[in-house]
Structures are given as C-alpha cells and as structure tokens.
C-alpha cells in the first residue's frame, strides 16, 4: 500500500493563465481530498493574488513553444506569430471559454474558493519588497507576506510542488 500524502506546499512563480491555474487546480484538488495545502506566490506569480492584476491574467503567446491553434492538439504556432497584436487576447479568450465549459472559475473566484476550503495563501516577502508592494495590494485571502525560510517552516513534512 502506498503512503498517503497529507500536506502539499505549492509554489506559483509565473503570472500567466498557464502559470497560475495549475497551482490553483492542484491546491483545490488537495483540499477536496482532505490534504492540507499551502500556496506560495512569488515573482510574477504574485499577479494571481494582486487585486489590480488578478482579473486580467492572460496567456503568454510570445516565446511559448507549446502554443497550438486552434486547439491544444493543433499545429504549433510559430513564436513570431505570438507577437501579432491581439494574439494574446485571442488565445486568452479561447482558453477562458474552454475553462468556462469545464466550470473552472476565474482566478479571483478560485482563490476565494480555495481559501474558504482551508488553503493558506502567502506572498513571497523578497518579491513583495522588490516590487514595492504592500499587504494592501493583495486580495483579502492572502494570509500573509512571508520569507522563504518561513515558507519552509510552514512546509515541514509537505510535498513541495513548483508549478
């Protein structure tokens, strides 16, 4: 019989839809399975919990070699095409429509759900300081701004996942 995971700590460092949602989905899944979960947002991943940014998360089309159109199994999009004006908006719009079909909530609503389910949410102190942010810049579900050392203390015994 395999060992049951009891605790996960998930690090979100990228600020695009495909950078933020995997961590949110994994944290939500953990809580649904009764697994203790902590989210730690750092660098541009902070956009997922900054009030002014979290409703405007987009797909990165420039330099994304995995970008395929018109579906995930379609032909690869040449990276130069990602720079065409409106391409990021178009890709983001398509992705959000597919997510709606699967009843995957927008980032703000997802953060609220995960927090209500008992997931702890933290912002990286070094990044917050570097970007000149304060606690007031974040959504109310953020439990605190903590150092990497504090993140490791909270993660004792956890599986650490970097998305």
Binning pLDDT at 50, 70 and 90, where does residue 150 land?
Answer: very high
- Indicate whether 75 and 90 sit together in one domain: yes
| 157 and 85 within one domain | no
Q: Provide the token pair at 108.
A: 């703000």
CATH number, domain with residue 141: 3.40.1260.10
Statement to judge: residues 100 and 129 lie in one domain: no
Q: What is the pLDDT of residue 30?
A: 97
- What is the arithmetic mean of pLDDT over 130-146? 98
* 2 contacts: CB under 8 Å, gap ≥ 6: none
Alpha-carbon span 88 to 61, nearest angstrom: 6
Say if residues 146 and 120 touch (Cβ distance below 8 Å): no
Residue 81 clears pLDDT 80, i.e. is over it: no
Nearest to 77 by CA among 89, 93, 66: 66
Residue 82: pLDDT above 80? no
* Cβ atoms of 46 and 131 closer than 8 Å: yes
9 beta partners? 38, 160
* CA distance readout (Å), 86 to 25, 94, 96: 27, 12, 15
Same domain, 78 and 116: no
Confidence grade of residue 93 (pLDDT, cut at 50, 70, 90): confident
Considering the domain architecture, whether residues 112 and 98 belong to the same structural domain is answered as no
Q: Domain span at residue 6?
A: 1-55+106-163
| Statement: residue 65 has pLDDT above 70 | no
Sign of CA dihedral 62, 45, 135, 148: negative
Could you tell me if 145 and 121 lie in one domain? yes
Across 30-49, b (16+ Cβ under 10 Å) vs e yields bbeeebbbbbbbbbbbbbbb
Round to whole Å and give the CA distance between 47 and 24: 13
Say whether both 50 and 2 belong to one domain: yes
Q: How many domains does the chain have?
A: 2
Q: For residues 66 and 42, state if they share a domain.
A: no
**Is the same domain home to 64 and 16?**
no
Q: Are residues 64 and 78 in the same domain?
A: yes
Question: Is there a cis peptide before residue 80, judged by omega within 30 degrees of 0?
Answer: no
Q: What is the Cα 88 distance to its own chain's centre?
A: 18
């Amino acid at each position: 019989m395999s060992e049951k995971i009891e605790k996960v700590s998930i690090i979100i460092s990228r600020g695009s839809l495909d950078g933020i949602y995997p961590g949110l989905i994994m944290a939500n899944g953990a809580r649904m399975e009764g697994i203790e979960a902590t989210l730690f947002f750092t660098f541009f991943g902070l956009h997922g919990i900054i009030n002014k940014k979290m409703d405007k998360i987009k797909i990165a089309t420039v330099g994304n070699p995995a970008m395929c159109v018109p579906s995930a199994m379609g032909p690869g999009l040449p990276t130069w095409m990602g720079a065409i004006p409106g391409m990021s908006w178009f890709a983001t719009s398509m992705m959000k429509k597919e997510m709606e079909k699967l009843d995957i909530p927008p980032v703000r609503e997802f953060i609220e759900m995960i927090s209500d389910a008992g997931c702890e949410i933290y912002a990286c102190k070094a990044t917050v300081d570097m970007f000149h942010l304060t606690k007031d810049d974040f959504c109310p579900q953020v439990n605190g701004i903590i150092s990497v050392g504090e993140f490791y203390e909270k993660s004792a015994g956890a599986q650490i996942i970097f998305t």
